[in-house]
Amino acid sequence: MSAADDLDVVMTLERELQTASCRRDADRLRALLADDFEEVGASGRIWDRASTLERLAGEGSEPEIPVRDMSARLIDDGLVLVRWDSERSDGRARRTSLWRRGPEGWRLVHHQGTLLSAR
């Protein structure tokens, strides 16, 4: 695969993670989140893989998270950084995700959300 192909695959996976169907599918989430996954939420709270899986299982029927202005860049062979903005009823946030390619494929290692001021 070329670097452009890797970027396309990872951006597709990032978009998938924002869908309600993926967020409700515990098996799919376990396949996408690395064992050492960590999230720093827009609130500043830190979640690990287990607490993220638990939190998303209780999310209920939340709608798909809108993804705006997504871009990605290759950091190193097997590491892709994705940046995008979300807009939900509780506000806007700038988000970054670090994806790592391993034997099982691309998995999300780190995610961070930073609140943006109101327009």
Neighbours of 31 (CB within 10 A): 13
Is pTM, for the whole model, over 0.85?
yes
60-79 pLDDT tens trace: 666 778 889 999 999 999 99
Of the CA atoms within 13 Å of residue 110, those in its CB half-sphere come to 8
Domain parsing of the chain, residue ranges? 3-115
Q: Give me 8's structure tokens.
A: 């396309």
Average pLDDT, the chain: 91
- The residue-averaged pLDDT of 33-53 equals 94
> Phi, psi (5° rounding) for residue 61?
-105, 40
Does the pLDDT of residue 96 top 90, yes or no? yes
According to CATH, the topology of domain 3-115 is Nuclear Transport Factor 2; Chain: A, (3.10.450)
Determine how β-strand 46-48 pairs with β-strand 33-40: antiparallel
CA distance 23 to 36: 18
Q: Give me 33's structure tokens.
A: 């989140």
DSSP state of 65: P
